[in-house]
Homo-oligomer: A and B are copies of this chain.
Amino acid sequence: MAAMRTTNQPGDGRAETGGRQWARADATRKALLDAAQEIFADRGYADTGIAEIVERSGISVGSLYHHYGGKAGIYLALWEDYTAEQERQAALAVVRARKSGEIDPIALFIAGARAFLDVCWQQREASRLFQSGEGPSGFALMRRGRARQWIGQNSKLLRGHGSERAAQVLALVLTTVMGEAGREVAAAEDETEALEIIDEICRILIRLSQPA
């Protein structure tokens, strides 16, 4: 088995008060998340064992269960972090666009979409992980649910598209296109390619958003 670092070095942790303690636990969590992220990305969720996460992180099984309750928990924690950042950036971009005087709904939508895709590129490792489609049981549903909710909010911006069914299908298509676009962006070789793809997607979004 791999040698583990010794813990409880002199002056480290236990005897300290307040903040230092939290820092210790935070470091544990971070080590677990980092290791899990890498391994999940490498082998996929199903083929990753707790043992591997423990080995690579240097943290014990007990701690893993203490903080995350198991494999699914650690995966979901990673996902929460990722989506929170995406939503934050997208919302921020829309606000910024509005402040700078933009009022065209399509332009606002595109601003959000662009921010979303930017995060996909910046966090491409995580993107690749979550968009691979594998995850704990029922995760696909969760993911789809959140995606729909996201596009549902934004599709308020895009009214005037004929029948209700047309609006429904359009929203569906937009959700899907954004998801797949994110995957493609995350898989890009370099930033130039990523930006080209983002531009092209935005063009397609505009085409889709215009009444037929």
Contact = CB atoms under 8 A, between A and B. Distances in A.
A140 B134 CA distance: 8
A79 B169 CA distance: 26
Nearest to A167: B200
A173 B169 contact: no
Contacts of A212: 203, 207
A133 B137 contact: no
Interface in A43-58: 44, 46-47
A196 B162 CA distance: 13
Contacts of A47: 137
Contacts of A169: 181, 184, 197, 200-201, 204
Nearest to A211: B207
A177 interface: yes
A146 B182 CA distance: 20
Contact of A44 (B137, B165, B179): B137
Contact of A165 (B46, B176, B197, B207): B197
25 contacts: A46-B46, A46-B137, A47-B137, A133-B133, A134-B137, A134-B140, A165-B196, A166-B200, A166-B203, A169-B181, A169-B184, A169-B197, A169-B200, A169-B201, A170-B204, A172-B180, A172-B181, A172-B184, A173-B180, A173-B201, A176-B179, A176-B180, A203-B212, A207-B207, A208-B208
